[in-house]
Amino acid sequence: MLGIIDIPVISILTYTVIFYGLSIVYASFSKNKSSLFVGAVIFLTGVVLFIIINFEFIDAGEVILPSSFLIMGLSFLVLYFSKRNDTVFLILGGLLSAVGITIVMFTGHINLQTYFTTVVQITKSYWQIIIIFIVIILLERADKK
């Protein structure tokens, strides 16, 4: 931008999408199902963009289809966790997530060993963020009691 900090525009956009989606999810959790779903989709789309930008893929286009199923499935699971009496969201979320995982497994781009190795690497890199996220969740639960 001004030559002081070199941050690609796509990285700024990715972080903006992640934080915008997360703020919508936080603001609408247990209140508004439609905005909660949209917020979860926006947040997870930002996460997928972050992964595509920061990790090497031979063909990033092959990530789109399974990511779409996983984003929709996980968004329905967020709706279920918001109000646990709607089991249709649990079923839809589970089915769509399973389809996304199945596509990833059958295309041969990832196996369980690669997956767990990647999870360990990400955890080592972002452990501070994970701890902060867990603390926020625990504080929110303590406030609700």
Rounded to an integer, what distance in angstroms lies between the CA atom of residue 100 and that of residue 98?
Answer: 5
The Cα–Cα gap between 73 and 96 comes to 5
Query: 13-39, pLDDT tens digit by residue?
Result: 888 898 988 888 888 877 777 888 999
The answer to the question of residue 59 being in a domain is yes
Say whether pLDDT at 92 is over 90.
yes
Establish if 62 belongs to a structural domain.
yes
Same domain, 65 and 45: yes
Domain membership flag for residue 69: yes
pLDDT digits 0-9 by tens, 46-67: 988 888 887 776 677 778 888 8
Q: How far is 103 from 106, CA to CA, in rounded Å?
A: 5
- For residue 36, how many other CB atoms are within 10 A of its CB? 23
**Span of 51-55, 87-91, 111-115 with lowest mean pLDDT:** 111-115
What phi and psi, each to the nearest 5 degrees, are found at residue 108? 80, 15
> Looking at the structure, do residues 98 and 122 belong to the same domain, yes or no?
no
Can you give the residue range of the structural domain that contains 54?
Answer: 9-109
Mean pLDDT, residues 101-126 taken together: 76
Average pLDDT rounded to a whole number, residues 81-107: 87
